[in-house]
Structure 1
């Protein structure tokens, strides 16, 4: 078989593996969206919701229950779902024509980046369990299905709204899936009883890997926000010390949810004085670069949750106690 034909065959297999995460036969998300929107366009919300349930969710029940709405963790998921869906349905008139195009672009990016990913992590799944669907409350995330299997979910409509750079988003999320499968760090580190250091480690490492697989981007591009990329390097010790005050808090804490939010969530208003929202992503990336002085990426990625917690806590203490030399904002750095 010619090399070009072999590559095309591999890409075909990768695309074929992107089936509904529930494992049941279902139409493509493009077909489902077309059916939903033909019944919902211009209708009152309750009729739109009925069409959504019939054409979208009922065919992908497991992934919507466990990953999209996270019913197992959120006692208020029904109320949030109503609000999210109503707002998203209002956006579909402007999005509908472009969703099939974005689906194809996302499929191509997953196939291409999956091949590249194995050059960095040879033991990665050649056919990663990826699902493309519609969701109003995230753009992409790893999760765990009801049967305990990790899955990577891309919300094509949200990615379209964000004008997301798929060459950055896809490898970042592929790493989250790989990490869940090989190190047991699931839900992007936001796991029951996990300390806040775990999502810090997880997001920093995923961002680092995306820079390795899509080189030449600034930190602002890798972090999906120019304001994060503009944080001066000399603020690292202060930010590390600030995070240490929250480090033993739980990633999932219904009684104190603002602790996680102020480091990892986006919002119209700032959570912390003098810091942009989602600063945990920036801090995590800097700490991984600090750890890279001593460890290879594959070594770091193999750490158990307990090892990752210990290593990132030690790194926080080290960088928090001293001024570090300035670093360039390019992710492609000398190793």
Structure 2
């Protein structure tokens, strides 16, 4: 496992940069932080190319930034790159959690690749997104990260030690409760249910269980789907077909 704590690098950077101009800080950030870890990123890109020959991250915008401890990585949009997924890396939260960067990049790069292949745009996310969509997206990214980083156990793939005592025997209970909300469209004015399933810093979806159960359940949903489908096919399903297949898998797992 490659675990890299960036705390010392960030401290060293700031010790050097605190008295510098903004332009000098930008240059120093590139040479002392981004360049140092570019090798891991490049290796993951090569792995993707070997499995998904049409993958290309050369034009994907990546923002390496402090997240004020709110996220480690996430995709999103940016007005400077209309219609194109953008990757944001919360360098402070990555450091705090001691995230395995091999797993981090394999997971987050898949989101970029997958969203492009699904052709999911902001309109879908804002007007048509049901809770099955993030379950599918996160479950598949977790599964693929395991393919690219073999010999990792599930808590490592989830990048969450809270799941060390969880296994397949826990799935049916979580599944039965998720099925109640599976068809709900996500209300972007009230994200409570979504956040309880996919965010670190919220009350859990099921009292007494860890937050981010959506990642755990999504992983098993994907494994169920792949019993009768191949990865190269499922990555291009649109959100409507994915919704149907997720519901079928939930029925089998509950």
Are 1:250 and 2:185 an aligned pair?
yes
Q: What per-residue deviation string (whole Å, max 9, x for no partner) do you get for residues 104-138 of structure 1?
A: 34322111100111111111115251414213232
Give the drift of 1:257. 1.8
Matches of 2:131 and 2:90, distance apart in 1:
25
CA contact 2:135–2:215 (8 Å) conserved in 1: yes
Greater displacement, 261-270 / 140-149? 261-270
TM-superposed deviation, 1:274: 3.3
Structure 2 CA distance for aligned equivalents of residues 261 and 175 of structure 1: 21
Name the counterpart of 2:7: none
2:106 is aligned with 1:171: yes
| C-alpha separation in 2, matches of 1:111 and 1:157 | 21
What are the residue-to-residue correspondences of 1:154-303 with 2, within 5 Å?
154-185=89-120, 191-254=126-189, 256-267=190-201, 270-303=204-237
Q: Map 1:130-149; keep pairs closer than 5 Å.
A: 130-136=61-67, 137-146=70-79, 147-149=82-84
Partner Cα distance (1:252, 1:106) in 2? 37
CA RMSD of aligned residues (A): 3.0
Give CA deviations for 1:175-227 in whole Å, capped at 9, x if unaligned. 0000121112358x954430000000000000000000011100000001122
Larger Rg: 1
Q: With CA pairs under 8 Å and 6+ residues apart, which has the higher RCO, 1 or 2?
A: 2
Please give the secondary structure, in 1, of the residue aligned with 2:151: coil
Instruction: Give the structure 1 partner of residue 18 of structure 2.
Output: 38
Contact 1:142 1:186 in 2 (8 A): no
Structure 1: stretches of 5+ with no match in the other structure: 1-29, 41-50, 60-96, 321-335
CA–CA separation in structure 1 for the residues paired with 2:75 and 2:128:
18
* 1:160 CA drift (Å): 1.9
Question: In the alignment, is residue 319 of structure 1 matched against residue 249 of structure 2?
Answer: no
Aligned equivalents of 2:143 and 2:76: distance in 1?
20
Residue 109 of structure 1: aligned partner: 40
Is residue 142–residue 151 contact of structure 1 (8 Å, CA) maintained in 2? yes
TM-score, length of structure 1 as denominator length: 0.63
> Cα distance, 1:261 vs. partner?
1.4
Q: Give 1:155 deviation, angstroms.
A: 2.6
Task: Report if the CA contact (8 A) 1:196-1:251 is conserved.
Answer: yes
Query: Using the alignment, how far apart are the partners of 1:265 and 1:218 within structure 2?
Result: 21
State how 1:75-94 maps to structure 2 within 5 Å: none
SS at match of 1:245: helix
Provide the C-alpha distance between the structure 1 equivalents of 2:164 and 2:33, rounded to a whole number of angstroms: 27
How far did 1:36 drift?
Answer: 11
Distance in 1 separating the partners of 2:34 and 2:184: 38
What TM-score comes out, normalization by structure 2 length? 0.82
Partner of 1:17: none
